[in-house]
Amino acid sequence: MTNIKGKNIVLGITGSIAAYKAAEIIRVLKDRGARVFPVMTKSARHFVHPLTFQSICQEKVLLNLFEDKDESLKHISLSRLADALVIAPATANIIGKIASGIADDILTTTVLATRAPVVIAPAMNEWMYQNPLVQANIAKLKSLGYRFIGPEEGKLACGDEGRGRMSEPGAIVDFLEDVLLCKNDLKGKSFLITAGPTREPLDRVRFISNYSSGKMGFAIAKEAKERGARVILIAGPTWIEPPPGIKLYRVETANQMLEKVREHFRQVDGLIMASAVSDFRPLFVHKGKIKKEGKEKITLEFVKNPDILEEVAKIKGDKIVVGFCAETENLLEEARKKLSCKNMNLVVANDLTEEGAGFGVDTNKVTIMDAQGKLTHLPLMSKYEVAREILNHVKILF
Protein backbone atom coordinates (compact mmCIF):
# COMPACT_ATOMS: atom_id res chain seq x y z
CA MET A 1 0.00 0.00 0.00
CA THR A 2 1.29 3.48 -0.85
CA ASN A 3 1.07 6.47 1.45
CA ILE A 4 -1.46 8.15 -0.85
CA LYS A 5 -3.85 5.25 -1.38
CA GLY A 6 -7.34 6.57 -0.63
CA LYS A 7 -6.10 10.14 -0.16
CA ASN A 8 -7.77 13.21 -1.66
CA ILE A 9 -5.22 15.32 -3.51
CA VAL A 10 -6.03 18.79 -4.81
CA LEU A 11 -3.76 19.54 -7.79
CA GLY A 12 -3.30 23.21 -8.66
CA ILE A 13 -2.16 23.87 -12.23
CA THR A 14 -0.88 27.32 -13.20
CA GLY A 15 0.18 29.12 -16.36
CA SER A 16 3.45 27.48 -17.34
CA ILE A 17 4.43 25.44 -20.38
CA ALA A 18 5.09 22.65 -17.87
CA ALA A 19 1.31 22.45 -17.32
CA TYR A 20 1.20 19.53 -19.74
CA LYS A 21 3.20 17.47 -17.21
CA ALA A 22 0.28 17.78 -14.76
CA ALA A 23 -1.47 15.09 -16.79
CA GLU A 24 1.32 12.66 -15.89
CA ILE A 25 1.16 13.73 -12.22
CA ILE A 26 -2.56 12.86 -12.22
CA ARG A 27 -1.85 9.47 -13.83
CA VAL A 28 0.83 8.60 -11.25
CA LEU A 29 -1.40 9.73 -8.38
CA LYS A 30 -4.31 7.62 -9.62
CA ASP A 31 -2.07 4.60 -10.24
CA ARG A 32 -1.08 4.82 -6.57
CA GLY A 33 -4.69 4.93 -5.42
CA ALA A 34 -5.33 8.62 -4.85
CA ARG A 35 -8.36 10.63 -5.86
CA VAL A 36 -7.37 13.82 -7.69
CA PHE A 37 -9.24 17.13 -7.86
CA PRO A 38 -7.69 19.46 -10.47
CA VAL A 39 -7.89 23.23 -10.06
CA MET A 40 -6.72 25.43 -12.93
CA THR A 41 -5.89 29.12 -12.99
CA LYS A 42 -7.09 31.22 -15.90
CA SER A 43 -3.62 31.39 -17.46
CA ALA A 44 -3.16 27.61 -17.22
CA ARG A 45 -5.99 27.17 -19.73
CA HIS A 46 -3.82 28.81 -22.40
CA PHE A 47 -1.51 25.78 -22.27
CA VAL A 48 -3.80 22.77 -21.68
CA HIS A 49 -7.55 22.38 -22.13
CA PRO A 50 -9.38 21.42 -18.91
CA LEU A 51 -10.96 18.41 -20.65
CA THR A 52 -7.52 16.80 -20.79
CA PHE A 53 -7.28 16.63 -17.03
CA GLN A 54 -10.95 15.86 -16.54
CA SER A 55 -10.79 12.82 -18.82
CA ILE A 56 -7.75 11.44 -16.95
CA CYS A 57 -8.93 11.89 -13.39
CA GLN A 58 -12.70 11.56 -13.94
CA GLU A 59 -13.32 14.58 -11.74
CA LYS A 60 -14.62 17.98 -12.76
CA VAL A 61 -11.85 20.53 -13.20
CA LEU A 62 -12.54 23.60 -11.09
CA LEU A 63 -11.87 26.86 -12.88
CA ASN A 64 -13.71 29.62 -11.04
CA LEU A 65 -14.99 30.39 -7.58
CA PHE A 66 -18.57 30.54 -8.85
CA GLU A 67 -19.67 28.47 -11.83
CA ASP A 68 -23.02 27.74 -13.46
CA LYS A 69 -24.88 29.88 -10.91
CA ASP A 70 -23.54 27.58 -8.19
CA GLU A 71 -22.63 29.95 -5.40
CA SER A 72 -21.35 27.30 -2.97
CA LEU A 73 -18.01 27.99 -1.34
CA LYS A 74 -15.97 25.56 -3.41
CA HIS A 75 -12.65 26.71 -1.96
CA ILE A 76 -13.85 25.89 1.55
CA SER A 77 -15.15 22.44 0.63
CA LEU A 78 -11.94 21.71 -1.30
CA SER A 79 -9.74 22.92 1.53
CA ARG A 80 -11.51 20.61 3.99
CA LEU A 81 -11.57 17.66 1.59
CA ALA A 82 -7.84 17.78 0.80
CA ASP A 83 -5.38 15.48 2.49
CA ALA A 84 -2.72 17.45 0.61
CA LEU A 85 -2.58 20.25 -1.94
CA VAL A 86 0.02 20.20 -4.71
CA ILE A 87 0.74 23.11 -7.05
CA ALA A 88 2.58 21.83 -10.12
CA PRO A 89 3.65 23.70 -12.08
CA ALA A 90 3.90 26.73 -9.78
CA THR A 91 4.73 30.02 -11.48
CA ALA A 92 6.47 33.01 -9.91
CA ASN A 93 3.08 34.71 -9.99
CA ILE A 94 1.25 32.10 -7.89
CA ILE A 95 4.16 31.88 -5.43
CA GLY A 96 4.10 35.67 -5.01
CA LYS A 97 0.34 35.76 -4.53
CA ILE A 98 0.36 33.09 -1.85
CA ALA A 99 3.31 34.73 -0.07
CA SER A 100 1.40 38.03 -0.06
CA GLY A 101 -1.84 36.47 1.19
CA ILE A 102 -3.71 37.29 -2.02
CA ALA A 103 -6.82 35.15 -2.62
CA ASP A 104 -8.39 36.24 -5.90
CA ASP A 105 -9.24 32.92 -7.59
CA ILE A 106 -10.26 29.35 -6.79
CA LEU A 107 -6.69 28.11 -6.29
CA THR A 108 -5.35 30.87 -4.03
CA THR A 109 -8.48 30.90 -1.88
CA THR A 110 -8.22 27.13 -1.43
CA VAL A 111 -4.55 27.39 -0.46
CA LEU A 112 -5.25 30.06 2.14
CA ALA A 113 -8.22 28.14 3.57
CA THR A 114 -6.64 24.69 3.85
CA ARG A 115 -4.86 23.17 6.83
CA ALA A 116 -3.54 20.31 4.72
CA PRO A 117 0.15 20.18 3.72
CA VAL A 118 0.91 22.27 0.62
CA VAL A 119 3.59 21.10 -1.81
CA ILE A 120 4.86 23.58 -4.42
CA ALA A 121 6.82 22.59 -7.54
CA PRO A 122 8.19 25.77 -9.18
CA ALA A 123 8.63 26.05 -12.95
CA MET A 124 10.02 29.19 -14.60
CA ASN A 125 12.94 30.77 -16.41
CA GLU A 126 16.20 30.66 -14.44
CA TRP A 127 16.57 34.46 -14.34
CA MET A 128 13.04 34.75 -12.98
CA TYR A 129 13.70 32.02 -10.41
CA GLN A 130 16.89 33.76 -9.24
CA ASN A 131 15.16 37.15 -8.92
CA PRO A 132 15.53 38.36 -5.31
CA LEU A 133 11.78 38.97 -5.05
CA VAL A 134 10.98 35.39 -6.08
CA GLN A 135 13.64 34.01 -3.73
CA ALA A 136 12.27 36.14 -0.89
CA ASN A 137 8.75 34.82 -1.54
CA ILE A 138 9.98 31.22 -1.55
CA ALA A 139 11.95 31.79 1.64
CA LYS A 140 8.89 33.32 3.30
CA LEU A 141 6.67 30.39 2.35
CA LYS A 142 9.27 27.87 3.52
CA SER A 143 9.47 29.74 6.83
CA LEU A 144 5.70 29.26 7.17
CA GLY A 145 5.89 25.51 6.59
CA TYR A 146 5.12 25.20 2.86
CA ARG A 147 7.03 22.37 1.18
CA PHE A 148 9.01 22.94 -2.02
CA ILE A 149 10.40 20.42 -4.50
CA GLY A 150 12.74 21.67 -7.23
CA PRO A 151 13.16 23.32 -9.59
CA GLU A 152 15.81 21.27 -11.38
CA GLU A 153 18.66 22.05 -13.75
CA GLY A 154 17.94 21.39 -17.42
CA LYS A 155 16.77 22.77 -20.74
CA LEU A 156 14.08 25.39 -20.29
CA ALA A 157 11.18 26.32 -22.56
CA CYS A 158 12.96 29.49 -23.67
CA GLY A 159 15.85 27.38 -24.95
CA ASP A 160 18.26 28.29 -22.15
CA GLU A 161 19.98 25.79 -19.90
CA GLY A 162 19.67 26.43 -16.16
CA ARG A 163 17.68 25.97 -12.96
CA GLY A 164 13.96 26.46 -13.38
CA ARG A 165 12.72 23.19 -14.86
CA MET A 166 9.87 21.60 -12.92
CA SER A 167 10.74 18.37 -11.12
CA GLU A 168 9.56 15.23 -12.89
CA PRO A 169 6.03 13.99 -12.08
CA GLY A 170 7.24 10.79 -10.43
CA ALA A 171 9.61 12.71 -8.17
CA ILE A 172 6.82 15.12 -7.18
CA VAL A 173 4.51 12.26 -6.21
CA ASP A 174 7.34 10.52 -4.30
CA PHE A 175 7.95 13.77 -2.40
CA LEU A 176 4.22 14.05 -1.65
CA GLU A 177 4.21 10.49 -0.30
CA ASP A 178 7.06 11.38 2.05
CA VAL A 179 5.12 14.42 3.27
CA LEU A 180 2.01 12.34 3.94
CA LEU A 181 4.04 9.56 5.56
CA CYS A 182 5.26 12.09 8.14
CA LYS A 183 1.81 13.58 8.68
CA ASN A 184 0.87 11.29 11.58
CA ASP A 185 4.14 9.52 12.31
CA LEU A 186 4.27 11.05 15.81
CA LYS A 187 0.63 10.34 16.67
CA GLY A 188 0.33 9.16 20.25
CA LYS A 189 3.56 10.92 21.28
CA SER A 190 3.77 14.05 23.39
CA PHE A 191 6.45 16.73 23.55
CA LEU A 192 7.41 19.56 25.84
CA ILE A 193 9.10 22.25 23.75
CA THR A 194 10.74 25.45 24.94
CA ALA A 195 11.27 28.50 22.74
CA GLY A 196 12.49 32.08 22.76
CA PRO A 197 14.63 34.06 25.19
CA THR A 198 14.30 34.62 28.90
CA ARG A 199 14.49 38.01 30.60
CA GLU A 200 16.20 38.75 33.90
CA PRO A 201 15.12 42.06 35.49
CA LEU A 202 17.63 44.69 36.62
CA ASP A 203 15.06 47.14 37.95
CA ARG A 204 11.45 48.12 37.25
CA VAL A 205 12.19 49.20 33.67
CA ARG A 206 15.27 47.24 32.49
CA PHE A 207 16.27 43.63 31.96
CA ILE A 208 19.04 41.55 30.39
CA SER A 209 18.17 39.07 27.66
CA ASN A 210 19.44 37.74 24.32
CA TYR A 211 18.62 37.91 20.61
CA SER A 212 16.47 34.75 20.41
CA SER A 213 13.20 35.29 18.50
CA GLY A 214 11.61 31.94 19.31
CA LYS A 215 11.23 31.05 15.62
CA MET A 216 13.12 27.76 15.89
CA GLY A 217 11.16 26.50 18.88
CA PHE A 218 7.81 27.52 17.41
CA ALA A 219 8.73 25.82 14.11
CA ILE A 220 9.46 22.58 15.98
CA ALA A 221 6.19 22.87 17.89
CA LYS A 222 4.21 23.42 14.68
CA GLU A 223 5.92 20.53 12.88
CA ALA A 224 5.37 18.16 15.82
CA LYS A 225 1.68 19.13 15.97
CA GLU A 226 1.25 18.60 12.23
CA ARG A 227 2.80 15.14 12.58
CA GLY A 228 0.20 14.12 15.14
CA ALA A 229 1.96 14.76 18.44
CA ARG A 230 0.51 16.44 21.51
CA VAL A 231 2.55 19.57 22.17
CA ILE A 232 3.09 21.71 25.26
CA LEU A 233 5.03 24.87 24.41
CA ILE A 234 6.79 26.98 27.03
CA ALA A 235 7.86 30.30 25.51
CA GLY A 236 9.80 33.26 26.72
CA PRO A 237 8.87 36.75 25.49
CA THR A 238 8.13 36.52 21.74
CA TRP A 239 5.66 38.02 19.32
CA ILE A 240 4.88 34.65 17.66
CA GLU A 241 1.49 33.01 18.11
CA PRO A 242 1.35 29.20 18.12
CA PRO A 243 -0.87 27.21 15.74
CA PRO A 244 -4.22 25.91 17.06
CA GLY A 245 -4.13 22.85 19.28
CA ILE A 246 -0.89 23.65 21.10
CA LYS A 247 -0.97 24.34 24.82
CA LEU A 248 1.11 27.48 25.38
CA TYR A 249 2.62 28.80 28.61
CA ARG A 250 4.32 32.22 28.59
CA VAL A 251 7.20 32.85 30.99
CA GLU A 252 9.77 35.58 31.56
CA THR A 253 12.71 34.35 33.63
CA ALA A 254 14.91 31.25 33.62
CA ASN A 255 13.49 30.18 36.98
CA GLN A 256 9.94 30.49 35.67
CA MET A 257 10.85 28.35 32.66
CA LEU A 258 12.45 25.73 34.92
CA GLU A 259 9.34 25.65 37.08
CA LYS A 260 7.10 25.00 34.04
CA VAL A 261 9.44 22.34 32.65
CA ARG A 262 9.41 20.52 36.00
CA GLU A 263 5.62 20.79 36.14
CA HIS A 264 5.03 19.16 32.75
CA PHE A 265 8.10 16.99 32.07
CA ARG A 266 6.65 13.79 33.56
CA GLN A 267 3.57 14.07 31.32
CA VAL A 268 5.45 13.85 28.01
CA ASP A 269 7.54 11.45 25.95
CA GLY A 270 10.20 13.99 25.09
CA LEU A 271 11.64 17.43 25.76
CA ILE A 272 13.10 19.66 23.06
CA MET A 273 14.90 22.66 24.58
CA ALA A 274 15.10 25.20 21.77
CA SER A 275 14.98 28.23 24.08
CA ALA A 276 17.94 30.52 24.80
CA VAL A 277 17.95 30.62 28.57
CA SER A 278 19.91 33.34 30.37
CA ASP A 279 22.95 31.80 32.09
CA PHE A 280 23.11 34.55 34.74
CA ARG A 281 20.74 36.92 36.55
CA PRO A 282 21.39 40.02 38.68
CA LEU A 283 22.04 39.24 42.34
CA PHE A 284 19.86 42.19 43.36
CA VAL A 285 16.84 43.60 41.49
CA HIS A 286 16.31 47.28 42.27
CA LYS A 287 12.79 47.99 43.48
CA GLY A 288 12.55 51.22 41.48
CA LYS A 289 14.47 52.61 38.49
CA ILE A 290 18.27 52.85 38.59
CA LYS A 291 18.98 56.57 38.16
CA LYS A 292 21.89 57.86 36.08
CA GLU A 293 22.29 61.20 37.90
CA GLY A 294 25.63 61.44 39.69
CA LYS A 295 26.91 58.19 38.24
CA GLU A 296 29.58 57.76 35.56
CA LYS A 297 29.32 53.97 35.77
CA ILE A 298 27.54 51.29 37.75
CA THR A 299 28.64 47.81 38.76
CA LEU A 300 26.18 44.93 38.72
CA GLU A 301 26.78 41.57 40.37
CA PHE A 302 25.35 38.45 38.75
CA VAL A 303 24.66 34.90 39.95
CA LYS A 304 24.32 31.74 37.92
CA ASN A 305 20.87 30.61 36.83
CA PRO A 306 19.90 26.95 37.19
CA ASP A 307 20.71 24.84 34.11
CA ILE A 308 17.36 23.40 33.01
CA LEU A 309 18.87 20.50 31.07
CA GLU A 310 21.06 19.55 34.01
CA GLU A 311 18.00 19.55 36.25
CA VAL A 312 16.07 17.43 33.72
CA ALA A 313 18.96 14.93 33.48
CA LYS A 314 18.32 13.96 37.12
CA ILE A 315 14.76 12.77 36.33
CA LYS A 316 15.14 11.89 32.64
CA GLY A 317 14.50 8.15 32.78
CA ASP A 318 13.76 6.80 29.30
CA LYS A 319 12.39 10.05 27.91
CA ILE A 320 13.88 11.66 24.79
CA VAL A 321 15.77 14.90 25.47
CA VAL A 322 17.05 17.21 22.73
CA GLY A 323 19.10 20.31 23.43
CA PHE A 324 20.63 23.11 21.38
CA CYS A 325 24.20 24.36 21.40
CA ALA A 326 24.77 27.83 19.92
CA GLU A 327 28.41 28.86 19.87
CA THR A 328 30.83 31.24 18.16
CA GLU A 329 33.85 28.92 18.41
CA ASN A 330 34.74 25.26 19.10
CA LEU A 331 31.18 24.31 18.12
CA LEU A 332 31.43 20.52 17.90
CA GLU A 333 33.66 20.24 20.95
CA GLU A 334 31.17 22.23 23.03
CA ALA A 335 28.26 20.23 21.60
CA ARG A 336 29.89 16.93 22.62
CA LYS A 337 30.41 18.23 26.16
CA LYS A 338 26.77 19.25 26.50
CA LEU A 339 25.53 15.99 25.00
CA SER A 340 27.47 13.96 27.55
CA CYS A 341 27.16 16.13 30.66
CA LYS A 342 23.44 16.71 30.31
CA ASN A 343 22.47 13.14 29.33
CA MET A 344 20.80 14.17 26.08
CA ASN A 345 19.78 11.94 23.18
CA LEU A 346 20.50 14.59 20.56
CA VAL A 347 22.13 17.99 20.45
CA VAL A 348 21.53 20.50 17.67
CA ALA A 349 24.64 22.63 17.16
CA ASN A 350 24.70 25.89 15.25
CA ASP A 351 27.56 28.29 14.64
CA LEU A 352 26.36 31.84 15.28
CA THR A 353 29.10 33.22 13.03
CA GLU A 354 27.57 31.52 9.95
CA GLU A 355 25.52 33.81 7.73
CA GLY A 356 21.81 32.95 7.93
CA ALA A 357 22.20 30.88 11.11
CA GLY A 358 21.20 31.62 14.67
CA PHE A 359 18.92 34.21 16.18
CA GLY A 360 16.20 36.36 14.63
CA VAL A 361 16.28 34.96 11.07
CA ASP A 362 14.01 32.50 9.25
CA THR A 363 16.87 30.16 8.32
CA ASN A 364 19.36 28.03 10.19
CA LYS A 365 22.42 25.89 9.45
CA VAL A 366 22.93 23.16 12.01
CA THR A 367 24.69 19.90 12.79
CA ILE A 368 22.69 17.22 14.60
CA MET A 369 24.79 15.01 16.91
CA ASP A 370 23.44 11.84 18.49
CA ALA A 371 24.56 10.05 21.67
CA GLN A 372 26.96 7.85 19.67
CA GLY A 373 28.66 10.92 18.22
CA LYS A 374 27.20 10.50 14.72
CA LEU A 375 26.99 13.84 12.91
CA THR A 376 24.38 15.00 10.41
CA HIS A 377 25.45 18.26 8.76
CA LEU A 378 22.52 20.17 7.30
CA PRO A 379 22.87 22.95 4.72
CA LEU A 380 21.33 26.38 5.17
CA MET A 381 17.57 25.88 5.17
CA SER A 382 14.42 27.33 6.64
CA LYS A 383 13.79 26.72 10.32
CA TYR A 384 10.72 24.66 9.42
CA GLU A 385 12.92 22.39 7.31
CA VAL A 386 15.38 22.14 10.20
CA ALA A 387 12.44 21.29 12.50
CA ARG A 388 11.47 18.41 10.19
CA GLU A 389 15.00 17.04 10.21
CA ILE A 390 15.19 17.22 14.01
CA LEU A 391 11.89 15.38 14.39
CA ASN A 392 12.96 12.81 11.79
CA HIS A 393 15.92 12.04 14.07
CA VAL A 394 13.68 12.01 17.16
CA LYS A 395 11.23 9.60 15.52
CA ILE A 396 13.98 6.99 15.09
CA LEU A 397 14.67 7.06 18.84
CA PHE A 398 11.19 5.83 19.85
The string of pLDDT tens digits covering residues 141-171 is: 988 889 999 898 877 666 677 788 999 999 9
pLDDT of 62: 85
243-261: average pLDDT: 94
pLDDT of 276: 94
pLDDT of 293: 84
pLDDT of 57: 85
pLDDT at 69 over 90: no
Give the pLDDT band (50/70/90) at residue 74.
Answer: low
pLDDT of 67: 60
- Sorted by sequence, the CB contacts under 8 Å of residue 78 that are 6+ apart come out as 10, 37, 39, 62, 106, 110, 113, 114
pLDDT at 278 over 70: yes
- Sorted by sequence, the CB contacts under 8 Å of residue 360 that are 6+ apart come out as 211, 212, 213, 215
pLDDT of 3: 72
Q: Could you tell me if 365 and 291 are in contact, meaning their C-beta atoms sit under 8 angstroms apart?
A: no
**Structural domains of the chain, ranges and CATH numbers in brackets:** 8-183 (3.40.50.1950), 190-397 (3.40.50.10300)
Lowest mean pLDDT among 46-50, 74-78, 98-102: 74-78
Q: Could you tell me if 152 and 5 are in contact, meaning their C-beta atoms sit under 8 angstroms apart?
A: no
Sheet hosting strand 8-13, strand order edge to edge:
35-40, 8-13, 84-90, 118-122, 147-148
pLDDT at 277 over 90: yes
pLDDT at 335 over 80: yes
241-263: average pLDDT: 93
Active-site residues, by number, are: 158
Q: Is 344 helix (H, G, I), strand (E, B) or coil?
A: coil
